[in-house]
A and B are shown apart, each in its own frame.
Chain A
Amino acid sequence: MKKHKKNRNVAIIGIGQTHHSSHREDVNQPEMIHEAVELALKDAGIGIEDVDALVHGNMELFEMVHQPDLWHVIGTGGYGKACYRVTTGGTTGATIVGVGDNIVASGLHDIVMIIGFEKQQEGHTTGGITNMADPLWARNLQTGALTGATAAKTIKEFGEDRAKRAAMRLRVTLDKHAALNPHAHRSFGLDYDQIDDLMANSPQLVGELRLIHMCSQSDGAVAIILACEEKAKKISKKPVWIRDHVTVHREETFNMFGINENQEVTHHNAARKLFGRNGITNPREYFDVFEMYDPSSWWGLDWLREFLQLEGDEHLKMVENDEVSINGSFPLNPSGGVISTNPIGATAALRVAEAALQVRGDAGAHQIPREVKHALASGFGGTFWTVLFMLEKDLDWQEAE
């Protein structure tokens, strides 16, 4: 099988996450992070002394704390270690895993812990996001993370009833998944017979983007421990291999020039590159599960098409035919996804963590009911950043060419 060049193999050997909630008054930031760090170390069966380096990420302006990694050392275990701080908007969680993957693959460090967190209840997320826009051209016009554009586009293409029904069906499916995940922030107990009611009565945010379609603001943290092949095989019974990851971004979203609608979407571009260089011709067939960064049900629906390189209305059919449910042929976000849980700096890392738990067979009640050998996980950020990961159960793609 075709493969992308990597200096040495890297595996996920430890995963820890907090319960995600909008009420973590019981802990300050380093204390909350420490919960995830302790769980990840325990999961890997190692101590903090075995970890060579840390990669820490969140959005500073969301908690209004400058350089939070410095006061988080109490909770991260970063004392005396190489520490990196990374922030790339909503993508941060995926970027820190990517950085961890790179610095282990390079040979710089053997064991690296990545830590993503957000404590959104402490700050003002929309204030933070708005300050990303250029003050001269766009800041006064910027409205934060909400947009009705994808809903309008999907309705225009597939008709109002079908589009709205598909987006809401996806919403209900992911709510059912979230109900199986004890770490999930929100699950409402929704069912498919509520689709018409929700389509008509959920409060509108922007156009047909309604409150029920939109992700939460959560507090939470995740820690993932990565190791080089030699150490991973010694330490872990179930290493999950990071076969490859790709980052694609464009920056025009927040400037005055707007988006070129004919330009390839970054998700499509990222998937095309990643699949191309790894010889994946039919991603729907190849991957057993997909943990997608889905900030809203409209985006989740539309992005299925982009990531899976689908034509026409295939993505709608996948939702309408329940292929994306946990028991379906292509389970999407068995964790419940971002729509249920969104501690932003942790969110994209949680996609990788949840995909890895599926590969290990350790996801618990939201484990998909068949063997997972190949998993896909994506991150998304405000300026159309896409980070896309391929995880593998076995090192068998190594016998390539």
Chain B
Amino acid sequence: MTEEHKHCHIKEGKLALPYQYFAGRVGSKFIVSLRDKKKILGVKCEKCGKVFIPPRKTCERCFENISENWVELSNEGEVTNFTVVRTDDKHHPRKAPYVLAMIKLGGADTPITHILEGVEPDSVKIGMKVKAVFADKAVNTMLQIDRFEPVK
């Protein structure tokens, strides 16, 4: 500590940030389908043809209401990009090291980010075929898909 920082008081603090998130009708249908049927749903914009996951009410490019255009996606897809998390933090869903991958499911135009397990971090490759493994109990978020694993 330098002379000029002596006697400088610091107040330690902690904020509580309570919140709810209203998933809405579209988001709720997606989560319920994951939980109760183990089916991954997307929505298709009839104008530009894109299939979005997670689903959304509006195509942000075409500004069309696409909330009723549900399509069932494959539980399998391929890795389009990934990173290896090498630090531990209490907010992280797994102990380091673990892989976070961007996965484009069959039938979708947009990739989702999820945990990839069952493969050594150094062996993950872009283009790798992976499949969803669903959680055993109700989670009611995207972690209703517990993880992805390589297709054997």
Contact = CB atoms under 8 A, between A and B. Distances in A.
Contact of B56 (A24, A74, A124, A127): A74
Contacts of A79: 60-61
B11 interface: yes
A119 B18 contact: no
Contacts of A77: 60, 63
B58 A135 contact: no
Contact of A27 (B11, B16, B25, B61): B25
A135 B24 contact: no
B57 interface: yes
A131 B15 contact: yes
Interface in B11-48: 11, 13, 15-27
Given A28-B27, A135-B13, A123 B19 contact: yes
A73 B61 CA distance: 10
A121 interface: yes
Contacts of B18: 64, 123-124, 127
A122 B21 CA distance: 6
A121 B26 contact: no
A214 B32 CA distance: 39
A192 B44 CA distance: 54
Contact of A24 (B9, B11, B17, B22): B22
Contacts of B13: 135, 139
B20 A121 contact: yes
A25 interface: yes
Contact of B22 (A25, A61, A124): A25
A160 interface: no
A122 B17 contact: no
B19 A31 contact: no
Given A74-B56, A75-B58, A135-B13, A124 B19 contact: yes
Contact of A28 (B9, B17, B23): B23
Interface string B112-145: 0000000000000000000000000000000000
A52 interface: no
B39 to A, nearest CB: 21
Contacts of B63: 47-48, 77
A119 B61 contact: no
A25 B26 CA distance: 11
Contact of B58 (A31, A119, A136): A31
Contact of B24 (A26, A47, A48): A26
Contacts of B60: 73-75, 77, 79
Contact of B57 (A34, A64, A136): A34
A27 B58 contact: no
Interface in B93-119: none
A320 interface: no
B16 A127 contact: yes
Interface string A360-398: 000000000000000000000000000000000000000
Contacts of A119: 22
A90 interface: no
Interface in A306-361: none
A28 B21 contact: yes
A136 B10 CA distance: 9
Contact of B25 (A26, A30, A127, A131): A26
A209 B22 CA distance: 32
A246 B27 CA distance: 41
Contacts of B58: 30-31, 34, 74-75
A30 B65 CA distance: 13
B91 to A, nearest CB: 14
Contacts of A127: 15-18
Contacts of B16: 124, 127
A47 to B, nearest CB: 7
A63 interface: yes
Contacts of B26: 28, 31
Contacts of A136: 9, 11
Contacts of B27: 28
A64 B23 contact: no
Contacts of B24: 25-28, 31
Nearest to A62: B19
B56 A122 contact: no
Contacts of A27: 22, 24-25, 57
A65 B17 CA distance: 10
A126 to B, nearest CB: 11
A34 B60 CA distance: 10
A389 B5 CA distance: 48
B22 A28 contact: yes
A30 B56 contact: yes
Given A31-B24, A31-B56, 14 more contacts: A26-B22, A26-B24, A27-B22, A27-B24, A28-B22, A28-B26, A29-B22, A47-B63, A65-B19, A79-B61, A122-B21, A123-B18, A135-B13, A136-B9
6 contacts: A64-B18, A74-B58, A119-B22, A123-B20, A135-B11, A136-B9
Interface of B: 9, 11, 13, 15-27, 56-58, 60-61, 63
